[in-house]
Amino acid sequence: MTLNPGMSFAINRCVRSTSPEGKGLAIGNPNPEPNSTLRRRPPLTCPSALCLLLSSFCYWCLAASVVQAFTAADAFAEAQITYHLRLARPSTHILEVEIDAGKVDQPSLDFVLPAWAPGRYAIYDFAKNVQEFNAHGAQGEALPWSQPDKDTWHVETLAAGGEVRVRYRVYANDLTGSFSQFDSTHASITPASIYMYLAGHKPDPVTLVVEPPPDAEHPWQVFSGFTLAADQYTFQAPNYDRMVDMPMEVSSECLIRQFEDHGKTFRVVVHSFGQPNKNEPQLATKLTEGLQKIVASEMAMMPAPDFDHYTFLVHFAPDIAAGDGMEHLNSTEIIIRSELSDDGVREALETAAHEFFHLWNVKRLRPAALGPFDYTREDYSPSLWFAEGLTSYYSYVHLLRCGIWSRQDFLDRLAGEVRDLENDPGRALMSAESSSFHAWFYDRSPQMQETNFANATISYYNKGALLGLLLDLEVRSRTNGQKSLDDVMRWMYQKLYAGPAATYYLPGRGYEEKDVLLALNTVSGSDFSEFFAHYIEGTAELPIAEELAKVGLKLNVTGEAGAAPSVSILYQQTDTGIRITAVRPGGAADRAGLSRDDLLTEVDTLSLVTEQLGTRLKMYPAGAEVPFTVERHARQLRITVKLDPPVADRYAIAEAPSATPAQASLREGWLAKN
């Protein structure tokens, strides 16, 4: 499908237009005369006809030259751009930003702050935290500016003398992979949330200067993918997109570890909140040893990436709302909702296995929509099931291959993914491609209205991971173990990333769904079109059991012994009863007429305030008709529910006793460690 509407060009008038390079000029006619191209002309004599033909020829030559001129102008002459980030007063959480633009030959400049950050498919409108914007020219004179929209500051530069200096401040106090945080212990910088770009100049080289707190007791150092030198404060990037792909940790409180693999240097930077303890150095070393195993396993599978060094920025913060992980070209930011502890290290390693694999899958081998980016709007892609879901699958694979997980750990995680999908009613309504395309609705996107996501959507991470499993097993089966999904990934990387650059952003080009299908067909020597149609484009039930059988495994689904009958709802336990958050379609509650937001206070006459719902329901058999006391809109109702059987929610993958030697051989090849 076409994700970005095309642009048509006419010659009548210049109008503003948004493009992936920023808010440049395009040529268009916003008010064309109705049917102007269809108007009839009276018959012409030969001289008149000749004159008209000549004039028409000149007209279209002029049109072509104007289009060319404005197309060239859309890129603009290269400017000299330097960013300054000043970390002056940590207690305020306010970052000071200065942008110096030289060689400015335009009558105006648009400074645009992204509305989102690559890797998180949600519009966050970072501009809401910008304050005190101002602009000055070469002699320090104030330049007039205005805001045509929420993300853009339009500066008049005719009187600037070829130089423009913009200053503004940004409030930053959120530790996530999308936002930034500045406090007395550190500055965690997600560049897209801080740095404006100059419209039409995203391809231009940029310089960044970081100024740490001047009165800090201990010098703050800078850790990022720019360099391994922690005492360097000036950096260069080939363009804005590459600068935005360099998250930064600035602090005096980090633990640093380092190792080598495949001739490349890997640095681990650990920042930990909470009370310092004597075990932190040992835990940082344990984390590094695990990361070394993951890196070795993933580097052994994929071609060597085009960098000399890579940085893991790892935060341990027990008091945040949620953890996070964010991929970048030669670094990652991992945020764990935990103290630096054994459990925290274990979680960090699982996150790192995912984020590190992203340096190939999504950062270099990337969907067509993801780079260069239009930071002002959503960049839609139907391929996140591949970019994110297969990355989840491969994180599990490499945790197994490198020895951090046992074979049972691996199979248990896959069984959990199967359970999650099969307990999700949205799987009958939403395809993997649709879930990918609509990621902007639910990838940590703010929700100000009530939705039915619990019943109508699926996760492209979840289904994508299972599609990775099925594709891997199917390729192995069709090729008698000679090929695997590993070969598909390598084929795509070589054909798509290692090819000529299609844009200024990176080598190669982005892939479309047809490229994934071509890769599968080429590597396997067979046709995956039907698989795509049923399970990726469509919503057919995934053939999990059938694929597992091909490697001598079986899926067991059971219920807990003595489990209570089910009402088929999702709910929250509150101080006043059970609050329904979702009613499963076709289930007991749905048939009885219970509704989302209903408050269940009693079963028969037994309180749901003093006892759990499951405990109360254990006294009833499946099929029993049980009255519930319900509060709805301040009214009390009595609704009888015919209970469903207990939910079978224990999923396990085990070896099939009847597996053939050929199936067992495929299984051992699949589950082999490095």
Dihedral (C-alpha) 203, 373, 114, 456: value to the nearest 10 degrees? 180
Amino acid at 617: L
Identify the band that residue 191 occupies on the pLDDT scale cut at 50, 70 and 90.
very high
pLDDT in the model for residue 76: 77
Which DSSP helix (H) or strand (E) runs through 577?
strand 577-583
Rounded mean pLDDT of 420-443?
Answer: 97
Could you tell me if 649 and 669 are in contact, meaning their C-beta atoms sit under 8 angstroms apart?
no
Mapped onto helix, strand or coil, the DSSP state of residue 41 is coil
Q: What is the pLDDT of residue 1?
A: 36
Q: What is the mean pLDDT of residues 306-330?
A: 97
- Domain edges within the chain: 1-32+48-74, 80-344, 384-551, 569-642
Angle, CA 475 vertex, CA 472 and CA 480 arms, to 5°: 120
pLDDT band at 275 (very low <50, low <70, confident <90, very high): confident
List, for residues 541-574, the tens digit of each pLDDT value: 999 999 999 999 999 999 999 999 999 999 999 9
Q: How many CA atoms lie within 13 A of 605 on its CB side?
A: 0
pLDDT higher than 60, residue 38: no
Per-residue pLDDT tens over the stretch 504-521: 999 999 999 999 999 999
- pLDDT-derived band at 624 (thresholds 50, 70, 90) equals very high
Residue 36: phi and psi, rounded to 5, are -65, -30
Are 364 and 283 in contact, with CB atoms under 8 Å apart? no
DSSP codes, 404-449: SS-HHHHHHHHHHHHHHHHT-GGGGT--HHHHHHTHHHHSS----S
**C-alpha span between 574 and 598 (Å, rounded):** 12
Q: Name the least confident of 304-313, 376-385, 442-451, 526-535.
A: 442-451
Over residues 156-170, the pLDDT tens digits come to: 999 999 999 999 999
**What CATH number labels 569-642?**
2.30.42.10
Give the Å distances, CA to CA, from 153 to 127, 129, 138, 198.
Answer: 10, 14, 19, 10
Q: Which two tokens stand for residue 98?
A: 């200065």
Percentage with pLDDT > 90 across the chain: 86
100 vs 452: CA distance, rounded Å: 47
- On whether the CB atoms of residues 306 and 263 are closer than 8 A, the answer is no
Cα–Cα distance between 377 and 339 in angstroms, integer? 36
Contacts of 354 (CB under 8 A, 6+ apart): 325, 391, 392, 395
Residue 489 and residue 497: Cα distance in Å, rounded? Answer: 11
Residue with the two structure tokens 């000679």? 482
Q: Which helix (H) or strand (E) holds 81?
A: strand 80-89
The residue-averaged pLDDT of 177-202 equals: 97
pLDDT of residue 277: 83
Q: Where are the beta strands (DSSP E) in 161-300?
A: 164-171, 181-182, 186-189, 197-198, 206-211, 221-224, 234-237, 248-251, 255-261, 264-272
- The Cβ of residue 2 has, within 10 Å, a number of other Cβ atoms equal to 6
Report the predicted TM-score, pTM, of the whole model to 2 decimal places.
0.88
Tell me the pLDDT of the chain averaged across its residues. Answer: 90
pLDDT band of residue 22 (cuts 50, 70, 90) is: very low
What is residue 533's DSSP assignment? Answer: I
pLDDT confidence band for 446 (50 / 70 / 90): confident
CATH topology of domain 384-551: Neutral Protease; domain 2 (1.10.390)
Give the amino acid at 28: G
Domain 80-344 has CATH 3.30.310.10: no
Lookup result for tokens 């102008």? 73
Selected residue with higher pLDDT from 16 and 163 = 163
Mean pLDDT of 434-450: 93
Strand positions, DSSP E, 220-323: 221-224, 234-237, 248-251, 255-261, 264-272, 309-316
- Could you report the per-residue pLDDT of 333-383, keeping only the tens digit for each? 999 999 999 999 999 999 999 999 999 999 999 999 999 999 999 999 999
Name the H helices within 438-533.
Answer: 439-442, 453-456, 460-478, 485-492, 513-524, 529-531
Region 604-625: mean pLDDT is 96
Range in 38-47, 70-79, 141-150 with the lowest mean pLDDT:
38-47
Residue 72 tokens read as: 């060239």
Contact assessment for residue 122 and residue 443, using Cβ atoms and an 8 Å cutoff:
yes
For range 194-212, the mean pLDDT:
98
Q: What is the DSSP letter of 139?
A: T
* Six token digits for residue 218: 């201990």
Q: Residues 55-87: pLDDT tens digits?
A: 444 434 443 443 333 333 345 799 999 999 999
The pLDDT of residue 41: 31
